[in-house]
Amino acid sequence: MKRLAGAVLAVLVAGQAAAMDLKSPDLKDGGAIAKAQISPRCGGGNVAPAFSWSGEPAGTKSFALTMIDLTARPPTGWAHWVVVDLPATVHSLPSGGALPEGAHAVPGSGGGVTYFGPCPPVGTGVHQYLFTVYALRGPTPELTPKGDPRETTATLAAAASAKATLTGTAEPSPDQSGGPRPS
């Protein structure tokens, strides 16, 4: 009986995918997002962080990467960046957000298709941003442009065989200039 239980456990462990890993030289997990990545509206450079990932399960067909402000109102969050159709052979994005051939962005909450750095409104406190890479088992599922960030992440999560995350924070800037008011 012990041998059978051990064999079953070995099969289960062998069948589990290794945990994915998401890294950025521009972002310390749980730390403040650097000024270079902050929206120009809050005095930043609006440069997308560089990312690299590894550990995806065998059979991964493509990747998706999202940046969601978890603190933004309405309580659905705010999609700052939604990149899809990253080829399975690609395991990094450079600083600045240049996308490889075949990849594209879906309009985020503000309607843009490029990286839109954080700029929390004054009086809203520190905002938390979740960067997630999804390893997709098949083609990228249909996403609604400017869709509810909860729907976007739920759709990607349902199509994913694995994912990895990093978080960052940003504080409101008292010297915000004009322009769109995303967080």
Tens of pLDDT, residues 108-162: 888 889 999 999 999 899 999 999 999 999 888 999 888 889 999 999 999 999 9
Residue 10 lies in a domain: no
Residue 33 dihedral angles phi and psi, to the nearest 5°: -75, 135
Residue 178 lies in a domain: no
Residue 179 lies in a domain: no
Which residue stretches of 16-133 are H helix? none
Residue 176 lies in a domain: no
What CATH number did the domain enclosing 21 receive? 3.90.280.10
β partners of residue 83: 65, 105
Q: What is the mean pLDDT of residues 177-182?
A: 51
Domain count for the chain: 1
Q: Is the peptide bond before 100 cis (omega within 30 degrees of 0)?
A: no
Residue 35 lies in a domain: yes
Enter the pTM of the model.
0.86
Residue 129 lies in a domain: yes
Tens of pLDDT, residues 18-29: 589 999 999 999
Q: In what order do the strands lie in the sheet with 62-69?
A: 31-32, 160-170, 127-136, 62-69, 78-87, 104-105
Domain that holds residue 119: 17-170
Contact 39, 119 (CB under 8 A): yes
